[in-house]
Amino acid sequence: MISHHTTRKIKSDCPKSAPKFALILKILSVIYKMVQNNTYATKRDIYYSDTLLFGSQSVVDNIVNDISCMLKIPRRSLHILSTTKGCIAGNLSYTEEDGTKVNCTCSATAVTVPSNVQGIRNVITDAKFILIVEKDATFQRLLDDDFCNKLSPCIMITGKGVPDLNTRLLVRKLWDTCHIPIFTLMDADPHGNCMLTAE
């Protein structure tokens, strides 16, 4: 038994459980097709594929989490990706899983963190350090001031407040790949500063 987790039963022959059971089967069929075709989707993509059926995004989120828990595998193995909100800029280039080459040259705009962080390869950088900036406004100000080039070649990342899973995974991947120091710029709220923990 897994501690600190609740369990529930859903029966296919119970009228009360039937709608939930049907939605689970629907999402399992979507997952099966994606695995067979080696394609990926976000939970948001799945919701928008049939908004009338699912009713709300939270329904899809909960069912995906249930399936992941039931099968004891991460969402990535279900071919379901997290929606990314983080941004990255600075002395970094890499190749995405589909072959797209990305150059995160520091400028007035940043590059969105890839939705499939585990699929990126050929990571190239001359950065001396990574700077994690909690607030997007501060991140943009540093970009406008050309911080990445003026001080020293570096990589800047923001999760725009509370970081999403992909942004945290990218920080971990860069640490594992580049082995350069990581610094953070954040406010004094300890509850919002969880960038360095990656699932």
What pLDDT does 11 receive? 63
In tens, the pLDDT along 22-40 reads 899 999 999 999 899 888 8
- Compute the CA torsion angle 44, 172, 1, 7 (nearest 10 deg): -20
The domains found in the chain, sorted by start residue, are 18-81 (1.10.10.10), 87-192 (3.40.1360.10)
Instruction: Identify the band that residue 45 occupies on the pLDDT scale cut at 50, 70 and 90.
Output: confident
Its pTM stands at: 0.62
H or E stretch covering 59: helix 57-71
Q: Which residue numbers are catalytic?
A: 48
| Residue 88, phi then psi, degrees to nearest 5 | -140, 145
User: Counting beta carbons within 10 angstroms of the beta carbon of residue 96, is it exposed (0 to 12), middle (13 to 18) or buried (19 or more)?
Assistant: middle
In tens, the pLDDT along 133-174 reads 988 888 888 888 888 878 778 999 998 887 888 888 899 999
- Radius of gyration for the alpha carbons in the chain, expressed in angstroms and rounded: 20
In tens, the pLDDT along 89-101 reads 999 999 988 788 9
